[in-house]
Chains A and B, each alone.
Chain A
Amino acid sequence: MLEARLEQANLLKKVVDAIKDLVQDCNFDCNDSGIALQAMDNSHVALVSMMLKSESFSPFRCDRNIALGINLTSLTKVLRAAQNEDILTLKAEDAPDVVNLVFESAESDRISEYDIKLMDIDQEHLGIPETEYAATISMPSAEFQRICRDLMALSESVSIECSKEGVKFACQGDIGSGSVTLRSHTNVDKPEMNVEIDLTEPVSLTFSLKYLVGFCKASSLSGQVKLCLSNEVPLLVEYALANNSYLRFYLAPKIGD
């Protein structure tokens, strides 16, 4: 059986909120290392990969592999009933028909309990090869969100060019063009404001802004976001969570004109 207790419902609320517009029905794969999710969007150009390590829960118990097939719209409806600071416990039997969610208020004696019916989801699993990326950029997640939103006002696509000079986000649209360039930057007092560019070779790729703006819904989960780029491979956008847990998005590049 599964029993996983989160100190704050907020974490799961934010994760689900960040991915629910990209993917609808997902298997939450539970085993003794934690709860993982991998799902592609309908057009097969974006993939979300979530890992909530067992250390992110206290306690965490999962005796055998359990796949919880959950519709994220349904999960969102139930999670709305949880306060951000509630303690959230997920429970399921070994061959479950439902997943049970319990929300406990730390301040009052209120306990709420919901069951969500599970779905049988036949989901393809993709193996993502280990990649040595040509460029890795760590930057404030709010800055990345702002750049994507600002450029989306002009264009559907953004080119991300990474060189010794820094990283340049540029777009061209009907009304004109725009770009934002960031250089490496260290803020000793506020490390969350750091921009770190790790470059082995220059790289330039074009991506759909609609998807990037969607990924940025995860910004509240982490002060920093990591962008990993190599020519002709999908972009990795990673939001690191506590205890080595993470929320990652992959996006296929746009090719040709």
Chain B
Amino acid sequence: APFQKDLYNYFIKT
């Protein structure tokens, strides 16, 4: 099934 990476993979923790 398709999965979604969580947003930490795209955005940086600040």
Contacts and interface: CB of A to CB of B under 8 A. Distances in A.
Interface of A: 40, 43-47, 124-129, 157, 206, 208, 233-234, 250, 252-257
Contacts of A257: 1-2
A160 to B, nearest CB: 14
Contacts of B8: 44, 126
B4 A255 contact: yes
Contacts of A127: 11-14
Contacts of B1: 257
Chain A interface secondary structure, helix, strand, loop or mixed?
loop
Contacts of B11: 47, 126-129, 234, 250
Given A47-B7, A125-B14, 9 more contacts: A40-B7, A125-B13, A126-B13, A127-B14, A157-B2, A233-B10, A255-B2, A256-B2, A256-B3
B13 A252 contact: no
* Interface size range on B against A: 10 to 19
Nearest to A131: B10
Contacts of B3: 254-256
Contacts of A208: 4
B13 to A, nearest CB: 6
A252 B12 contact: no
18 contacts: A40-B7, A43-B4, A44-B7, A45-B6, A47-B7, A125-B13, A126-B7, A126-B11, A127-B13, A129-B12, A234-B7, A234-B10, A252-B4, A252-B6, A252-B9, A254-B2, A254-B3, A254-B4
Residue in B5, B11, B14 with the greatest tally of chain A CB atoms within 10 Å? B11
Residue in A125, A127, A250, A252 with the greatest tally of chain B CB atoms within 10 Å? A252
Contacts of A44: 6-8
